[in-house]
Amino acid sequence: MSRKIVAALIAVVCIAMPDYIQAAKAKNRTFQMSYTVKVKGIPSDAKDVDVWLPYPTNDEAQEILEMNVKSPYPTKVNYDKEFGNGILYVKPMPGAEDFEVKMTFKVKRDEIRNKKLKNSSANLGDMGPYYRYLTPSKYAVINDTLKKFAAQATKGKRGNVAKAKGAYDFILDKMAYNKSIPGWGKGDVNRLCLTISGGKEGTGNCTDFHSFFGSIMRTQGIPVVFEMGFPLKPGKDQVAPKKGGYHCWAKFYVPGKGWVPVDISEADKDPKKTDYFFGSICENRVKFSRGRDILLEPNQRGGRLNYFGPDPYIEVDGVSFNGFERTIAYKDI
pLDDT digits (tens, 9 = 90+) for 180-214: 999 999 999 999 999 999 999 999 999 999 999 99
**Of the candidates 48, 38, 35, the residue with the CA atom closest to the CA atom of residue 96:** 48
**216 or 257, which is more confident?**
216
Question: Do 100 and 236 fall within a single domain?
Answer: no
The verdict on residue 119 lying in a domain is no
Half-sphere exposure of 120 (CA within 13 A, CB side): 18
Provide the residue range defining the domain that includes 43: 3-111+290-332
The number of CA neighbours under 13 Å toward the Cβ of 315 is 17
Is the confidence at residue 9, as pLDDT, over 90? Answer: no
pLDDT at residue 109, as a whole number: 98
Q: How many domains does the chain have?
A: 2
**CA end-to-end span of the chain:** 42
The pLDDT value recorded for residue 18 is 41
Residue 3 pLDDT class (50, 70, 90 cuts):
very low
Asked if 248 and 297 sit in the same domain, the reply is: no
User: How much is the pLDDT for 226?
Assistant: 98
Whether pLDDT at 152 is above 80: yes
Predicted local distance difference test score (pLDDT) of residue 257 = 85
pLDDT tens-digit series, residues 96-123: 999 999 999 999 999 999 877 877 766 6
Q: How does the average pLDDT of the chain come out, rounded?
A: 91
Within this chain, do residues 137 and 278 fall inside the same structural domain, yes or no? yes
CA atoms of 74 and 77, how far apart (whole Å): 11
What per-residue confidence (pLDDT) applies to 16? 36
Q: Model confidence over 265-284: pLDDT tens digits?
A: 999 999 999 999 999 999 99
Is residue 212 located within the same domain as residue 272? yes
Nearest CA to 238 out of 70, 30, 34 is that of 34
- Do residues 18 and 258 lie in contact, with contact meaning Cβ atoms separated by under 8 Å? yes
Are 57 and 288 contacting, i.e. CB atoms less than 8 angstroms apart?
no
CATH at residue 75: 2.60.40.2250
